[in-house]
Amino acid sequence: MKTTVSVLMISMFILLLSACSLDEQDHQVTVKHDLGTAHMAAHPKRAVVLEIGFIDALLDLGIKPVGAADDNKPKQLINQNVLKRMDGYTSVGTRSQPSLEKIAALKPDLIIADMNRHKGMYDQLKQIAPTIALKNADADYQDTVDASLTIAKAVGKEGIMEKKLSVQEEKLSEVKRKLDAEGQSILLIENTNDSMTAKEDQFFTSRLMTLAGYTYAIGTSSKSSGGASANIKLTPEKLLQINPDYIVLIGGKPNKAFEKKSLWKQLSAVKNGHVFNAGRKDWSLRRSVDGADAILDDLEKNMVPSK
């Protein structure tokens, strides 16, 4: 009799464990994102990322993407340390038009898309795997924070991201104190082959500059249709009219045609030695919490006034 009872108890225990296991497998997470709501299995492990800034968020949460849109030139777009951490991923093509076939072949259980870039293919993406669409290509700093928290919720690791954001908030406050930049204007400039353009004020890095205490030299802009950020084309005359206290050249030296003009030498930032070079990968493409950390490190290293 005792043996029969013991067998029954063991059997019931095994059934209970099996039921719990099935519940865990069947457990669904609902995630609200910029293009709707996604339902997915808890703790996805095979994620495909379609914009550079989302890669850091996954890596910070202990997940290496199996695929990423890297424009087929990762060394030009992605921070070298990030590339090392995501070693072994598969390229799914360009950020503007990733390959649906390559994405499907990876059998993802989560796709992270950009709200603006991938709006037109969102329905196709979510047929392959649960897809969350968030702001990154045209994100400001707060958009990036919100996207990071949404990604953390999707993979069941919100606590890790919340802690990271808390540490960054303290770092931002400390850098702001050291910069003591109140009343000083700053402008971010990118070079092209034959011209220079300024980042508008709602761009990710521009907003970070204002959070660090600077006044952004270009006033409040109106974003172009679809919410996309616009770069503002500069002439030497226009740049002199803006005349920022600090200039950050993203991607290298000023355009040679600009530098030769006498107007360039009349700029306050040039005369006072307040022109700084910055890497494009971190200052323009890496719109993430880690990207902001890298920028804050650059600010502290290069722009904190000497005593």
> Each residue of 252-279: pLDDT tens digit?
766 666 766 678 889 999 999 999 999 9
Q: Give the pLDDT score at 231.
A: 82
Based on the fold, state whether residues 95 and 208 are members of the same structural domain.
no
Count structural domains, the chain: 2
Q: What is the pLDDT of residues 53-78, one digit of tens each?
A: 999 999 999 999 999 999 999 999 99
Kindly state whether residues 39 and 138 are assigned to the same domain. Answer: yes
Q: Decide if pLDDT at 36 tops 70.
A: yes
**DSSP 3-state of 162:** helix
The whole-angstrom separation of Cα 23 and Cα 20 is 5
The answer to whether the CB of 81 falls within 8 A of the CB of 289 is no
- Domain region containing 207: 178-302
Query: Residue 10 — pLDDT band, cuts 50, 70, 90?
Result: very low
Same domain, 120 and 207: no
The count of other CB atoms within 10 Å of the CB of residue 115 is 23
**Same domain, residue pair 263 and 296:** yes
Same domain, 152 and 213: no
Six token digits for residue 304: 């904190």
DSSP β-ladder status, 196-199 and 275-278? unpaired
- Collect all residues with Cβ–Cβ distance below 8 Å to 174 and sequence separation of at least 6: none
Alpha-carbon gap, residue 125 to 40, rounded angstroms: 14
Same domain, yes or no: 227 and 111: no
Judge whether 103 lies within some domain. yes
Residue from 161, 237, 173, 245 nearest 211 by CA: 173
Per the DSSP assignment, residues forming a β-bridge with 262 are none
Same domain, 117 and 187: no
Q: Are residues 192 and 148 in the same domain?
A: no
- Bridge partner residues of 36 (DSSP): 33
Query: Do residues 285 and 214 share a domain?
Result: yes
- Residue range 165-204, pLDDT digits in tens: 999 999 999 999 999 999 999 999 987 656 788 999 999 9
Q: Tell me, what's the pLDDT at 157?
A: 95
Who's near 35: CB < 8 A, 6+ residues apart?
115, 119, 122, 133
CATH number at residue 205: 3.40.50.1980
Q: Is residue 240 part of a domain?
A: yes
The residue out of 156, 189, 223 marking a domain boundary is 156
Assess if residue 151 is contained within a domain: yes
Angle of helix 204-211 versus helix 289-302 axis, rounded to 10: 50
What percent of the chain has a predicted confidence (pLDDT) above 70?
Answer: 84
Which of 123, 156, 189 finishes a domain?
A: 156
Instruction: Please report whether residue 164 resides in a domain.
Output: no
Say if residue 255 is in the same domain as residue 297. yes
In the predicted model, what is the mean pLDDT of the chain?
87
Decide if 168 is inside a domain. no
One domain, residues 232 and 136: no
pLDDT of residue 28: 86
Average pLDDT value for residue range 95-111: 97
Q: Is residue 63 part of a domain?
A: yes
Residue 15 forms part of a structural domain: no
Report if residue 214 sits inside a domain. yes
Quote the percentage of the chain above a pLDDT of 90. Answer: 70
Tokens of 214: 């600077």
pLDDT of residue 181: 94
Please tell me the distance from the alpha carbon of residue 67 to that of residue 140, in angstroms, as a whole number: 25
Look up the pTM and report it. Answer: 0.85
Would you state the structure tokens that stand for residue 135, as one six-digit string? 């702001």
The conformational region for residue 156 under phi > 0 = left, psi -120 to 50 = alpha, else beta, is: left
**In the prediction, which pLDDT does 294 show?**
96
If asked whether residues 206 and 149 sit together in one domain, one would say no
